[in-house]
Structures are given as structure tokens and as C-alpha cells.
């Protein structure tokens, strides 16, 4: 059984905030890959993107440590607080943009 983290219980069945990074869409920025906050559905860009808005979202919301990839076909989770990557057996497929 793969290791998960204790924050998994706080993950919700979230609705994505949109098809792109919230802050980049607002500011006209560009992103490389997208991540989704599993506490509130905030879609933000990855650390390869200039804005790093997924990480910024966690800095602004310390109680939102869990994200999933928002990329099609990617099922991994990441916990910022534990710096732990994992997959959840039996979890529904990650929400993703098209």
C-alpha cells in the first residue's frame, strides 16, 4: 500500500475553478502545467510556470496543502506540507482540463 498523508481526509470532491490558472487568466499570464487544490478547487499553475500560482495558493491558504495534477491522464497527488507525492488507489480519476 502506497504511503498517503494525513491531510487526505480533508480532501473534497471539488469543482475546478475553471479550465486554467485562476491568477494567470486574470492577469494574462501563461502556464506550463496545471494543479488543482483539493480543498477548494482552485486551479493554479505549476512551479515550471512563471507564476507558480498553485504554490502561491498554498502559501496564502496554509490549510490547503493537498493538490492533484490537473493534467489529463495524471493521477498523482502532492502534499505541500509533507512534501509527499502519492497516488490514491480507488480514487476517482483526477479532474482535468481538456
Burial class of residue 31, CB neighbours in 10 A (0-12, 13-18, 19+):
buried
Smaller CB separation from Zn ion, 75 or 86? 86
Q: Which of 35, 53, 68, 77 binds Zn ion (CB under 5 A)?
A: 53
How near is the Cβ of 33 to Zn ion at its closest, in Å?
10
Asked if 41 and 16 count as a contact pair (C-beta separation under 8 A), the reply is yes
Binding mask 13-52 for Zn ion (x = CB under 5 A): --------x-xx------x-----x-xx-x--x-----x-
Q: Which residues have C-beta within 8 Å of that of residue 43, sequence separation ≥ 6?
A: 16, 17, 18, 19, 20, 21, 22, 34, 35, 36, 37, 70, 97
Find the shortest distance in angstroms from Cβ 44 to Zn ion.
Answer: 6
| Residue numbers at the binding site for Zn ion (CB under 5 A) | 5, 7, 21, 23-24, 31, 37, 39-40, 42, 45, 51, 53, 64, 79, 81-82
Amino acid at each position: 500500500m502506497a504511503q498517503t498523508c494525513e491531510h487526505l481526509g480533508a480532501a473534497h470532491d471539488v469543482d475546478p475553478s475553471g479550465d486554467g490558472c485562476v491568477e494567470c487568466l486574470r492577469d494574462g499570464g501563461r502556464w506550463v502545467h496545471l494543479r488543482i487544490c483539493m480543498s477548494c478547487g482552485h486551479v493554479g499553475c505549476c512551479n515550471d510556470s512563471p507564476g507558480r500560482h498553485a504554490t502561491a495558493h498554498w502559501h496564502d491558504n496554509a490549510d490547503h496543502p493537498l493538490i492533484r495534477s490537473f493534467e489529463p491522464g495524471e493521477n498523482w497527488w502532492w502534499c505541500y506540507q509533507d512534501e509527499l507525492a502519492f497516488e490514491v488507489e480507488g480514487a476517482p480519476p483526477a479532474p482535468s482540463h481538456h
